[in-house]
Amino acid sequence: MPAAVAKTASQIEADWDIRATQSAIDAVKAVLSKDGINPRAMISSLSEIEWGWVVAAAIFAWIKTKSQQATAEGTGYDTPIRTMTTCDPQPWDAGAIESILPALAEMKGVDWLKPVGEWSKDQITSFAWQIYKLSDGALARRDDGAQDKIVQRLSQPRTEREISAAHGGPLLARNELNDDIPF
């Protein structure tokens, strides 16, 4: 009996990507069924809402599978969702960088009618510096916004306090006033 060959990290990642893609395809097929969108409908005839169903089904199924990957590998939920090793740049990074383009277009002192090859060394340096500064800021804002914002784990006492306060009770957890009587 031949020995099992261990898969490399990239092979494991590729397997998960195949699963996630298949899951997205299956979800779209489920939307295109007798209970959803007519599967014989022409793509050009789909309404905005129907397109939304198709896209949402694919995205949510893909994320669900990548979440299963995070659970199986014991990593944070965000790493498999935002990491796509086959894409360069990563969509997670490309989205942040794309957000700076309007600010670049409004830069003072840039002659957009002139080809970059005709810019002076100082203009190119200034432009590159602005790209760096804006990119660094966009990536930092993206990363700050991502930390524990989707899934926050609250302690039981904190959850109990918030539920109590939401229902008009005191901002106390169940056992907070169970101190022994000092006399």
Pairwise CA distance, residues 59 & 110, whole Å: 39
For residues 20-32, average pLDDT? 93
- Crossing angle, helix 121-146 and helix 91-98, to 10 degrees? 120
To which residue do tokens 């699963």 refer? 19
Is the pTM of the predicted complex or chain greater than 0.85?
Answer: no
Q: Which two tokens stand for residue 41?
A: 């409908």
- Confidence band of 5 (pLDDT split at 50, 70, 90): confident
To which residue do tokens 């995205």 refer? 59
- Confidence band of 153 (pLDDT split at 50, 70, 90): low
Q: Is the distance from CB of 46 to CB of 54 less than 8 angstroms?
A: yes
- The pLDDT of residue 95 is above 50: yes
To which residue do tokens 């200034």 refer? 126
- The pLDDT of residue 98 is above 50: yes
* Domain boundaries along the sequence of the chain: 7-85
- Region for residue 13 given its phi and psi (left: phi exceeds 0; alpha: psi -120 to 50; beta: otherwise): alpha
- The pLDDT of residue 151 is above 50: no
pLDDT tens-digit series, residues 36-55: 898 888 989 999 999 999 99
For residues 146-165, average pLDDT? 63
- The pLDDT of residue 152 is above 60: no
- The pLDDT of residue 136 is above 50: yes
Percent of the chain with pLDDT over 90: 26
- The pLDDT of residue 167 is above 90: no
> What's the half-sphere exposure (Cβ side, CA atoms, 13 Å) at 14?
6
